[in-house]
Amino acid sequence: MTSFDTRMKSAVDDPDTKGWLVSILELGAWLGVLFTGYLADKLSRKYTIVLAVIVFCIGVIVQTSAFAPSSIFGGRFITGLGVGSLSMAVPLYNAELAPPEVRGSLVALQQLAITFGIMVSFWIDYGTNYIGGTGETQSEASWRVALALQLVPAIILGIGILFMPFSPRWLVNNARDDEALQVLSRARRLPPDSDLVQIEFLEIKAQYLFEKETSAIKFPHLQDGSRMSNFKLGLYDYLSLLQSRPLLYRVLVGSLTMFFQQWTGVNAILYYAPSIFQDLGLVGTTNSLLATGVVGIVMFLATIPAVIWVDKVGRKPVLVSGAFIMAACHIIVAILTGLYHDSWQKHSAAGWVACAFVWIFAMAFGYSWGPCAWILVAEIWPLSVRGKGVSIAASSNWMNNFIVGQVTPSMLAHIGFGTFVFFGAFSFLGALFIWVFVPETKGLTLEEMDEIFGSAGMAAGEHERFLAIEQRIGLDAYNDPDRASPNVTDLKHDSMEKV
């Protein structure tokens, strides 16, 4: 926006500084993710969300009241801490509170919600751009209002979560079994002694005992409950992922999938879309913001089919096809930019074609790497290390997100159309990586997952210990067809498949 560019001129005119202005939020988010695991266990998922909302709001207020680039830098870093924390705490809370039969769909629905938020934010920017005019007369309210509006959903979340229950999983982990049972009873709208509520409660209890016993087997000398022992347990759990070749394979699959997701250039497009569309010949801030709004719409609409069909089609075909389409879009835009970057006004049709391929790129990402990358990295882990594995993948996502945001302005300024060639090459490499090195995981049990990752027997051994725990706490009684109703038996079977 003109008024923002005028106020923050020293930051936005220099490509390197502009990159830091954008990417410092992602750096804060990366740090936020690292702290959230500990906070979610100590404070609860619920209060961690409240704390993250407070941090987020502080960052937004600092940005909204900024009169110099330093305030924007500081505000975006603080905002990033909240964003990163929420990106891990909210899905964790949802998954632990939701009924088992809808947990799987939440992963894809989360990406749908993210793309909806992106779409709304683009159109808010387009609307507030008219406050005071679109030129030199533009009011600073145009960007201050857009920033301040971030407080609305944050405050709704922060206040609303106070009226929500604690996570039943967190309550069980903290020896508050009676409260956990009551939370499940209210969420299910069934009495605490009903079979469905009892099954869900006992499954949570079984998983907690399983993880506790796994820790005792791996690290018997660190079970005294001291702060130092707990710290070492967390550290050794992460190190164990690097010491086993099959687990290291999964770490590489998860981390590199997130690496290639970011290096498709999707966030280069999302963060710098107005600048990119201006470089493609769209004259004026208003037109570039309008074209950016279309990016949000097409990405949101393209995510909907992924929510519906990804479990039928499979992960690999979706990811490979999306990466090839994105690579093709990058190369076409690079060719058009190379040919006409000095004469877009004389070749307006070519400019619009380039814009159209940016929109096609957004659609390709929306149906493929947006939701499917997260689905893949969430399902490749054995039960005992799933939390640690997913956190490594999330950390890879935010760190690469930060790097992409930081380098993109310099790339656009110094290598021009080569930026699109660069991201196109990485999109192509991402397709080859999935095609050659990543197995299809659709519909696989944990035992089958172990076989394709070269660790046959790991899940089988864990499964035997899990069944022993079920028998010890009485969960196996619900497998008795004379006691359990058909619906209960189906739920028990479905939950075991998810485990």
- Dump pLDDT digits (tens) for 432-468: 999 999 988 877 665 567 777 766 555 666 777 778 8
Local confidence band at 127 (pLDDT 50, 70, 90 cut-offs): confident
**For the chain, what is the mean pLDDT?**
82
Say if residue 416's pLDDT is above 80: yes
What per-residue confidence (pLDDT) applies to 385?
72
What per-residue confidence (pLDDT) applies to 198?
87
What per-residue confidence (pLDDT) applies to 481?
53
Mean of the pLDDT values across residues 344-367?
86
Local confidence band at 50 (pLDDT 50, 70, 90 cut-offs): very high
Is there a contact between 51 and 162 (Cβ–Cβ < 8 Å)?
no
Mean of the pLDDT values across residues 143-160?
92
What per-residue confidence (pLDDT) applies to 136?
78
Higher pLDDT, 488 or 260: 260
What per-residue confidence (pLDDT) applies to 159?
95
What per-residue confidence (pLDDT) applies to 219?
82
Higher pLDDT, 99 or 122: 122
* pLDDT tens digit sequence for 60-100: 999 999 888 889 889 999 999 999 888 888 877 877 787 76
What per-residue confidence (pLDDT) applies to 497?
44
What per-residue confidence (pLDDT) applies to 124?
87
Mean of the pLDDT values across residues 280-306?
75
Say if residue 113's pLDDT is above 50: yes
How many percent of the chain have pLDDT more than 70? 87
What per-residue confidence (pLDDT) applies to 80?
92
Say if residue 383's pLDDT is above 80: no
Mean of the pLDDT values across residues 351-364?
88
What per-residue confidence (pLDDT) applies to 492?
46
What per-residue confidence (pLDDT) applies to 496?
41
Mean of the pLDDT values across residues 128-138?
79
How many percent of the chain have pLDDT more than 90? 23
Local confidence band at 255 (pLDDT 50, 70, 90 cut-offs): very high
Local confidence band at 482 (pLDDT 50, 70, 90 cut-offs): low
Q: Range with the lowest mean pLDDT among 316-320, 400-404, 449-453?
A: 449-453
What per-residue confidence (pLDDT) applies to 472?
85
What per-residue confidence (pLDDT) applies to 499?
43
